Chain A
Amino acid sequence: MLLDLILLAPFAAALVGGLLYLYDPQARREKIYSIIALTPVLLGAVLSLVIGWSFIFGETTHIESTLFEWLHVGDLRIALTLSVDRLSMVMLFFVTFVGALIHIYSAGYMSGDSGYGKFFAYLNLFMASMLLLILADNPVIMFIGWELVGLCSYLLIGFYYREEAAIPAANKAFIVNRIGDFVFIMGVALLFVTVGVNGFGFTAIEASITKIDTAMLSLIGLLLFVGAMGKSAQIPLYVWLPDAMAGPTPVSALIHAATMVTAGVYMVARFDFLYSRIPGVGEFIAVIGIASALLAAVIASYQSDIKKILAYSTVSQLGYMFAAVGVGAYSAGLFHVFTHAFFKALLFLGAGAIIIALSHEQNIFRMGGLRKDSRLLYYTMLIATFSIAGIPPFAGFFSKDAILVSLLSTGHYTLWSLATFGVFLTSYYMFRLFFAVFHARSYGFRVLKPLPLTMTVPLVVLAVGTATLGLLGVGGTFGNFLGLADIHAEADHTIEYLLAIFNLFVVAAGAGLAYRLFAQEAEPPNEESRVRRLLVHKFYIDEIYGYVFVKPLYFIASFTGNLIDHKVLGRMILLGVEGYRRAGEGFGKLQNGRVRFYTLYMLVGISYISYYLLSILGGI
């Protein structure tokens, strides 16, 4: 009952709000819209706290609720069953909690926008879809949520549809996600064909997983992971996420940082029983993760747009999560998902507040000196920056540390050293952002717009969360609670402590470099050398994709559409008709109205008949 309510309330709110908006798009009813939108989300947060309470302090380990049987065809039987175990409880908690805060923040941020009602309908639909993804008890229903969050992402990126950048970015997000989704559903289909006959819930699949041989299992694992690459923006499908920043900033915070993009990590953890049997695929996942983490970190170090920097840092942090789940440290990965949701939401909401206060300025090198203007923004952003860089006691320190320990203790030394270099880069680009915005010389005179309470309260709450929630990970509390199929590789405690201290030095080095370069005079990256130009232009990956995929596709389309279909196939069919017409014309010539010809025909006919008769009679 509780679960049904958590899921259905935002769906209903999206429907009601959307219809109300459609009924009269011009009407100004911000209050009504925010009440409709906030009620189900706040309710969800409260209910998930109740569920969380019964998990942590009670005996509950699993709640289930079946809404109805979705379809039953042949051997495929799919029920719309919602289920919460410890893994989904953690997801449920932070999605509803962070989601509620971002809804509140949006009420202030979007105030005055003509699409206010539409925005909240989309946002509610997103919450519902994300919850469906999390609560699904089988891969098909999970896929439904998986695709629907992609739809919401599309709708919200394209929210400012009159602006030039918004719609191409939205289409790009939808299509790149679709590529991943397509491969994902193929993986699901393969899974069904191999074991689906005996039920297709996660527990049923887990029970019959041993029947699948390793090669097949690896293929399934790979296909599913390609889906995760799309949703969670990993190489080579990460290209949509930076462009997705064209959407409103609360959307970037909720969908493109805290929740939706972590769906891939959640999926891998959900299939821990599958991935723990195929360590080879796990290695691949970890390599992709670290590669994405480094690539995105390098690109982030050369960007000037505050949202773009944060977007690349999201790709980078997701890479860390995949590195963890790839090597089998599921709880470490999930812990980073959890802490990341808080500090990244905080970063984005802070960035949104800065952008609003500065009348839609997004270039960090045109901000400068904000420290004096807003203490609140300064301290909340400082906490978030400390957290993502990995400075204790803030949340990011504990989760990132857990990932690095797991890489080291499972013997992935190369990955570990690359990850540590990534830590240095993270610290560098985040402090670069921080110093450029708050410390560097002020960029001219300005008046900051005051921020409404709806925007500042969520910032403070998230800052408190970011500052404290990392402690949940101390001594492995978080991981023990989750009880995932973690790989068993205990590191010596001394090594762990040494590693933590070493990491702090790395972070300090990155921060120090950023301080030297950006704390006084912040200059945007110049494009003088070839290498720098390459970096500022993000390695020209978008351009390369354009030449390799987009243009050829369009060329093939216009080739088939304009040439083959019209000129070749269309003509070929007409050839038959043409032949018939020609034959008709030919025969027509025989009947030309001249007696001479007709006499000739008669003569030929009579001769032939005479010849025939005579031959029968035996005359010749």
Chain B
Amino acid sequence: MDNILSVLVFFPAIAGLLGFVVDKGSARVYGISVATVELLLALWLWMSFDTANAGMQYVELIPLVPDFGINYYVGVDGISLFIVVMTALMTLLGMIGMSIEKEIKNMIISLLFLEMTMIGVFVALDAIVFYLFWELSLVPMLYIIGAWGGPLRIYASVKFFLYTFTGSLIMLVGMLFMAYLYNSVSGVWSFSLTDWYALVLPENYQIWLFLAFFAGFAIKVPMFPFHTWLPYAHGQAPTIGSVILAAVLLKMGTYGFVRFSLPLFPDASVMMIWPISVLAIIMVIYTAMVAYAQEDIKQVIAYSSVSHMGIIILGTFAMNAEGISGSIFLMLSHGIVSGALFMLVGVIYDRRHTKLMSEFGGLAAVMPKYAVIFGFMLMASVGLPLTIGFVGEFLVLLGFYEISPIGAILGGTTIIIGAIYMLTVYKRTFFGPVTNEKNKTLPDLNGKELTALVPLVAIVIWLGVYPKPVLGPIDTSVKALISFMHEKARSDIAKDTITLSKSVKEAK
């Protein structure tokens, strides 16, 4: 199966097309079966992945527009591998836990198309292919929010679309300019990332290109102050939309930084460490504060998810193996934990059609299983050791410590503030006496919900206790990335900042 990646990308899309002829009653089963096969394929990819090899594997290259050097070019390395697996997993579990009955067939088809675009983004090695999938992912999500969302769904979905679209257009300009530069140096057109990697640019070009890409990635993440679209989108999106948005779509932005910004523009990345870190630290503290002020549980989770994305950015710009590997691991753990938390909010919303904390209280007695799973995810979210949340956060802070201890300490305050607002949510929702009559008879998690949530709990513990199987391949590829950036950097300051690990140094 050398073309496993193409199968992974296009299988859901083809299955989605076929979905139009599936009977409405069996659409859900159909979707779950497709997503299961997709997950099995992704797991097969992981199992057969050569963990010792830091480079791209399962590479496929089919020329699309040879005159302009545009190819269908895909591949996977330790950095993208687990994000692909996580995407397949969260799509499946999101589908299983989904409570939507209305237009279920359209929902399943949208989700399958969305899955194609997401996996496409993470395996693309050609800028145009990357851009295509990147923009295409907006369409199903726009539809999911616009068709199944809350009362303000149209406003929210249009805002989501326009906002991210503006950013990615600027990114597209950057891509075209990059190809133009490549052409002016080598005489041929190419949009292939591996060709671009070889291009050493002067610093002033690097800065402008970095900023163009930054516009696309930063809005997607979303970084402060471009985050205002996200709470709206989450507030109006149906549960499944929020799960996919938080778990996977946001990761496109942070993944873009690692795949494009760092290796293409190492000097600019080092120059931009401070502006970006300051934004990231503001983002961490600011959104944590905003989260503390929310009354709506889903909004707390939405803002806390933004806050944790700030830590991922900090790790990416730590320029050492601990920080970058940590931030990639944190992308995975953030995907799993925030995905699960949004599912959990969905559970209570399905039962009571409200997400306000003040409507609840004492749920621990009424819904013990729900309370325990929520508690697990809460602890993972605040980064308790032996849950998945601790590993990434710890590595990122450790890595950023080498850039700036003060920065790490400021970013690390999330450890405290995160605990404050999450425990407040838990206190007001689950503890105390049951004050609201309507809550006295709420049913606990049903089989469907348990099937979706229990695997996530298992992963949260497994990767918290034993993160090595995932961290190992990530670290191998990250070390290669850092060595590459170190080689490529032109300025001395960049070479100093991009820190090689001791083992890598010794090998040289």
Contacts and interface: CB of A to CB of B under 8 A. Distances in A.
Partners in one complex: yes
Interface in B416-448: 416, 419-421, 423-424, 427, 430-433
Interface stretch (A266-274, A289-297, A517-525, A565-573): A565-573
A136 to B, nearest CB: 11
Contact of A75 (B322, B368, B372, B408): B322
Contacts of B176: none
Contact of A190 (B292, B321, B401, B427): B401
Contacts of A569: 225, 228
B179 interface: no
Given A167-B432, A178-B415, A72 B385 contact: no
Given A161-B364, A561-B293, A22 B475 contact: no
Quick one: which of B226, B293, B475 has the most chain A CB within 10 A? B293
B130 interface: no
A548 interface: no
A35 interface: no
Interface in B347-381: 362, 364-365, 368-369, 372, 379
A358 to B, nearest CB: 26
A478 interface: no
Interface string A127-153: 000000000000010011001100100
Contacts of A162: 362, 365, 431-433
A147 B362 contact: no
Contacts of A376: none
Chain B residues touching A, range: 35 or more
B289 A74 contact: no
Contacts of A72: 468, 471-472, 475
Interface stretch (B44-52, B194-202, B266-274, B392-400): B392-400
Given A175-B416, A175-B423, A74 B322 contact: yes
A76 B502 CA distance: 10
A192 interface: yes
A209 interface: no
B290 A71 contact: no
B408 A189 contact: yes
Chain A residues touching B, range: 35 or more
Interface stretch (A179-187, A252-260, A432-440): A179-187
Given A22-B372, A144-B386, A570-B228, A182 B416 contact: yes
Interface stretch (A396-404, A463-471, A550-558): A550-558
A561 B501 contact: no
Nearest to A154: B423
Given A74-B320, A161-B364, A557-B292, A167 B399 contact: no
Contact of B292 (A69, A74, A76, A561): A561
B317 to A, nearest CB: 15
B286 A560 contact: yes
Chain B at the A interface: mostly helix, strand, loop or mixed?
Answer: helix
A24 B413 CA distance: 39
Contact of B466 (A68, A181, A182): A68
Interface in A59-73: 68-73
Quick one: which of B362, B385, B415, B501 has the most chain A CB within 10 A? B385
Contacts of A71: 391, 395, 467-468, 471
A74 B479 contact: yes
A249 to B, nearest CB: 20
B185 interface: no
A175 B426 CA distance: 14
Given A70-B468, A74-B475, A148-B384, A557 B289 contact: yes
B294 interface: yes
A570 B502 CA distance: 46
A338 interface: no
B326 interface: yes
A562 interface: yes
A145 B401 CA distance: 23
B320 A182 contact: no
A442 B466 CA distance: 59
B432 A75 contact: no
B135 interface: no
Given A74-B501, A565-B228, A569-B225, A69 B419 contact: no
A613 interface: no
A192 B466 CA distance: 21
A25 B368 contact: yes
B325 interface: yes
B423 A75 contact: no
A22 B369 contact: yes
25 contacts: A25-B368, A70-B466, A73-B471, A73-B475, A74-B475, A74-B501, A75-B503, A147-B385, A161-B430, A175-B416, A175-B419, A178-B415, A178-B419, A181-B415, A185-B397, A186-B408, A189-B397, A193-B401, A553-B292, A557-B289, A560-B286, A561-B289, A561-B292, A570-B228, A573-B228
Given A186-B408, A561-B293, 9 more contacts: A22-B369, A22-B372, A73-B321, A75-B501, A161-B364, A162-B431, A166-B431, A185-B415, A186-B401
Interface of A: 22, 25, 68-76, 140, 143-144, 147-148, 151, 158, 161-162, 164, 166-168, 171, 174-175, 178-179, 181-182, 185-186, 189-190, 192-193, 197, 553-554, 556-558, 560-562, 564-565, 569-570, 572-573
Task: List the 3 closest A-B pairs by CB distance, nearest first.
Answer: A561-B293, A74-B321, A557-B292
